[in-house]
Amino acid sequence: MNYRHAFHAGNFADVLKHVVLTRVLVHLCAKDKPFRAIDTHAGLGVYDLEAEEAGRTGEWHDGFGRLETPFAAEVEALLAPYRAAVEGVRARHGATTYPGSPAIIREHLRAGDKGVFVELHPIDAETLAHRYASDSRTKVMHLDGWTALNALIPPPERRGLVLIDPPYEERGEIDRLGQSLLKAARKWPTGIYLGWYPIKDLSAVDRMAATLDAGLERPALRLDLMIERPDDPTRLSGTGLIVVNPPWTLAAEAEQFLPALAERLARTGYGAFRCERLGPEG
């Protein structure tokens, strides 16, 4: 799977990833102590939904585009930080833009917090560095994301998160995600980890989740969002996140926003979700 993000910005996978990311950032901001947010596969940070790439696929219409109609009040309360982050980015970059995860993170950084954005593609890394050059809270690194995951933890701050969001261009990267989460959680046990994955071959995700359930020494959540029946392993039918050391409120929150998103973003009448505990408290 080649996941060059400019073609997919604002799609259903972004919606889930960024809603969960904002819920974790809200949790980190609830305490005065500073935190560090590390994005291992950062991309460009901001995307124009009217640009050629996004226009060629039009995926955002069936993702962020379907969120125009409000949800029930309790779901809207959980989505409010996500919506606010999108509006904050659009206020600076234009009404047709959509934030990548670096921009979502930047919207939540306070004076003492740090954001580290890692990108391997040289042109994208240069663009990202130029975009955030004036913000002393952020740092952009031109580096392989998997290498950065090992090199950048533990950070000086005890609190923080790591978002692992690879493009899945190589075989076996879902298994690699599981093994990397196991190693990282041992190296920085107080960090919160968000590992994103596409769902095409559901058995690969199940295998990774089973490995984590057996091997993690910390609690975790598996959050899946299905928008089509997972009966064709060549088709992107869903997306998900493994959250290691999730905020204590996240499971209950996910059980509210996941069914709402599954219903709203479903294709051909099929939408489903999973909120499953993994690890020692699974």
d(CA 144, CA 167): 12
What's the DSSP call for residue 157? Answer: S
Q: Does 165 participate in catalysis according to the annotation?
A: yes
Phi, psi of 154 (to 5 degrees): -75, 145
Task: Record the tokens describing residue 22, joined without a space.
Answer: 């904002």
Angle ∠(2,122,178) on CA atoms, nearest 5: 45
Residue type, 20: V
CA 32 to chain centre: 24
d(CA 5, CA 14): 10
Residue type, 138: T
d(CA 239, CA 12): 8
Q: Scanning the structure block, which residue is given the tokens 């009966």?
A: 231
Catalytic position from the list 39, 62, 113, 165: 165
How big is the chain by its Cα radius of gyration, in Å? 17
DSSP labels for 51-70?
Answer: SHHHHHH-GGGGTGGGGSS-
d(CA 100, CA 96): 13
d(CA 226, CA 87): 26
Catalogue the active-site residues. 165
